[in-house]
Structure 1
Amino acid sequence: MKNKNKLLTIMLIILVCITLIGVIALLIVSQLNKGDEEEKPSIDEIVESSVDIAEITTNLAGENFIRISLKVQTDSLEAGEELTKRDFQVKNIVITELSEMTPEQLDGKEGKVAFESSLKTKINELMDSGEVQQVYITSYIIQ
């Protein structure tokens, strides 16, 4: 009888340990998944915190000229308001960047992505509050 009680006690302890290990593993996995799932802004939030850069017509390096419009997405409404006030500085950056580029450098997806990335970096250097998340080309013509 004494052996049966010992065996039952050992089995009960093992069962409790396995249950605890399972609960701890479940908690760890759920905590790790929370860190992976960043909350993405809704399209309405993106539009609210974005700023349209009116159409700019300027010369490229060489004999061509470009007509381009942009939308700049920021990380907050405050950053969007600041960017709206800095509109003239953003236009200056766009014109300066484009004046050094040839049509071939803007050609294709890679050229446009490189241009957008360059603008994002340079505009972020201006910003005091918030930052630029993405620059989008909304219209684009080279002649």
Structure 2
Amino acid sequence: MNKLVKTMLTSLTVILIIGISAFVVVQYVNSDEQSGKTSSIDKMEEYSYETPEITTDLKDGSFVRIQFQIITDGKDAKKEIEKRDFQLKNILIKELATLEEKDFQSELDDLEKHVKTKLNEVMTTGKITDVYTISKILQ
């Protein structure tokens, strides 16, 4: 009987240690995922480039003043997009010249996607992950 009690206590102790270890591991993994969300916005800010305001005419004769926040996938890509500022302005002017005032009410997402695609075509180091419109004035 004494041997049976020792075996049961040893088994319960091992199961308890395994259970506590699993709980600690699960809690640690969950806390890493939540802190990763915070650091991802920090990385977005670190790797983002704010374009200068661009004023240009539209297809229908009206004018727009617009500014974008461009998110890259790393430091090297951010440096490259800063150097390609003239190409960025050229792409934006060409794209904006094809739009009309009404397009800014419904097709702003399409413009952001198209600018992202065009910029990724000229990028050699890294890539553009997102383009956000941060300022827009129609006249």
Give the TM-score taking structure 2 as reference length: 0.72
Q: Structure 2 stretches of 5 or more lacking a match?
A: none
Q: Which of the residues 89, 112, 122 maps onto 1:126?
A: 122
Match of 2:40 in 1: 40
Q: Describe the SS at the equivalent of 1:21.
A: helix
Identify the match of residue 135 of structure 1 among 125, 131, 135. 131
Q: Cα deviations across residues 6-25 of structure 1 (Å, max 9, x unaligned)?
A: 12322321331232133134
Measured at CA, do residues 125 and 35 of structure 1 come closer, stay the same or move farther in structure 2, by a change above 3 Å? Answer: farther
- 1:95-106 to 2 correspondence within 5 Å? 95-106=93-104
Distance 1:37 1:117 in 2: 29
**Alignment deviations for residues 18-67 of structure 1 (CA, whole Å, 9 cap, x no partner):** 32133134324533653564233548x83x64434333232323232222
1:19 corresponds to which of 17, 20, 29: 17
Match of 2:67 in 1: 69
Q: Which amino acid aligns with 1:118?
A: H
Whole-Å Cα distance in 1 between the matches of residues 118 and 35 of structure 2? Answer: 29
Q: Deviation per CA, 1:88-128, whole angstroms, max 9, x where unpaired? A: 22112212221222222212xx6434433332232123211
Distance across 1 between alignment mates of 2:22 and 2:67 = 53
- Give SS of 2:103's match: helix
Q: Give runs of ≥4 in structure 1 deviating > 4 Å.
A: none
RMSD: 2.9
Which of the two has higher C-alpha Rg?
1
Identity of aligned residues (%): 29
